[in-house]
């Protein structure tokens, strides 16, 4: 099969690799019909995720068709169209039983790590992928949900919702600021209303992304990079500060920005993947009584979000701005890596 292979920092190739095969009775083999590229893949290519070894097939998002199952797989059948979750779950360990799938203690890859695709095992940017714990890591898709909608449920929609909205403890009437109107930030914007956010402020350097944010539910937009950006945000709250600040970029400056706009007693939810140390000015923050959260998505809300996407309550397909064939994967990476120029949100790679 063809696959996108990480060859070390800054290096990748679209090349031939052996087809995956069943290794455990709980596995399934899925033919990839649609996959996409995540900002985390770009972090890997920069060398920010040292656990990813050269030779690894990248990708952790995908929609496909089951072509083979292990002897123990019960709820997933050959021929089914499925969503591949970016987080695997054995379903029976202590962490999975409480919904902490990101720290699944199953025997696949590293103990305590639910994110394995394109990280500890070969991923979804290939013609086929092996999915461990298929009964709990795959979701059958209704015909009413398109591939473009479904692939957004692999990672970015549950990430924005769980790590931004839920961990940020958004409550009815809250003013929520989302720093970074990229795909994950837009996912947080699109789902903040599920918990009754009263106002949603999108903050970004890019005017195009701010315009996109309005279509996903932002009530206010603020262009950062200007001296008055903070005043513009605080004006929405009569100077009090936002109830929830969601950092969805993953660089030190945007984390610091989040600390500067959250009100006393508010919440700062870090969603971005950071490749560098981030200063935390506890000498200033200790007196603010704010809560800071962070972590890896669990995808335990995927079934609920799938229902909402099927009911067209979340504009998931709008996130897909560019489409490529499998033989254009390198072009897709080029387009996605230059998102400021190409106005790319998510690039779809399909058969």
Q: Which CATH class is domain 2-155+299-350?
A: alpha beta
What SS3 class is residue 265? strand
By the 8 A CB rule, do 151 and 43 touch? Answer: no
By the 8 A CB rule, do 212 and 181 touch? Answer: yes
DSSP assignment of 73-114, as one string?
--S--TT-EEEEPSS---SSSHHHHTT-GGG--SSSSSTT--
CATH level 3 topology of 157-293: Rossmann fold (3.40.50)
- In the chain, where are the structural domains located? 2-155+299-350, 157-293
Q: Is the pTM of this model over 0.75?
A: yes
What is the pLDDT tens value at each position of the chain, 351 positions in all?
999 999 999 999 999 999 999 999 999 999 999 999 999 999 899 998 889 999 999 999 999 999 999 999 999 999 999 999 999 999 989 899 999 999 998 865 455 589 999 999 999 999 999 999 999 999 999 999 999 999 999 999 999 999 999 999 999 999 999 999 999 999 999 999 999 999 999 999 999 999 999 999 999 999 999 999 999 999 999 999 999 999 999 999 999 999 999 999 999 999 998 888 999 999 999 999 999 999 999 999 999 999 999 999 999 999 999 999 999 999 999 999 999 999 999 999 999
- Cα 68 to Cα 82: distance, rounded to the nearest angstrom: 13
- Cα 121 to Cα 334: distance, rounded to the nearest angstrom: 24
Tokens of 10: 């800054």
Whole-number Cα distances in Å, 75 to 29, 79, 131, 280:
14, 12, 14, 46
25 by Cβ neighbours in 10 Å (0-12 / 13-18 / 19+) ranks as exposed
């Amino acid at each position: 099969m063809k696959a996108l292979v990480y060859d070390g920092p800054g290096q990748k190739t679209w090349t031939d690799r052996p087809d995956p095969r069943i290794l455990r009775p709980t596995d399934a083999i899925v033919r990839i019909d649609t996959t996409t590229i995540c900002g985390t893949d770009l972090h890997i290519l920069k060398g920010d995720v040292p656990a990813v070894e050269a030779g690894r097939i990248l990708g952790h998002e995908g929609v496909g068709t089951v072509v083979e199952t292990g002897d123990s797989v019960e709820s997933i059948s050959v021929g089914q169209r499925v969503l591949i979750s970016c987080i695997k779950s054995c379903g029976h360990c202590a962490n999975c039983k409480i919904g902490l799938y990101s720290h699944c203690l199953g025997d696949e890859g590293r103990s305590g790590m639910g994110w394995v695709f394109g990280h500890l095992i070969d991923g979804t940017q290939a013609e086929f992928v092996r999915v461990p714990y298929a009964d709990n890591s795959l979701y059958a898709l209704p015909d009413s949900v398109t591939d473009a909608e479904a692939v957004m449920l692999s990672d970015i929609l549950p990430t924005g919702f769980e790590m931004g909205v839920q961990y940020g403890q958004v409550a009815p009437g809250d003013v929520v600021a989302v720093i970074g109107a990229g795909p994950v930030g837009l996912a947080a914007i699109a789902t903040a209303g599920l918990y009754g956010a009263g106002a949603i402020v999108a903050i970004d350097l890019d005017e195009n992304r701010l315009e996109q944010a309005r279509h996903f539910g932002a009530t206010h937009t603020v262009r950062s990079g200007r001296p008055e950006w903070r005043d513009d945000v605080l004006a929405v709250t009569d100077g009090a500060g936002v109830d929830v600040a969601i950092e969805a970029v993953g660089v030190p400056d945007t984390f610091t920005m989040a600390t500067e706009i959250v009100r006393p007693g508010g919440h700062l939810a870090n969603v971005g993947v950071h490749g560098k140390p981030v200063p935390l000015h506890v000498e200033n923050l200790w007196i603010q009584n704010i809560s800071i959260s962070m972590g890896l998505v669990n995808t335990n809300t995927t079934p609920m979000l799938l229902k909402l996407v099927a009911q067209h309550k979340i504009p998931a397909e709008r996130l897909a701005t560019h489409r490529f064939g499998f033989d254009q994967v390198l072009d897709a990476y080029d387009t996605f890596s230059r998102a400021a120029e190409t106005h790319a949100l998510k690039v779809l790679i399909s058969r």
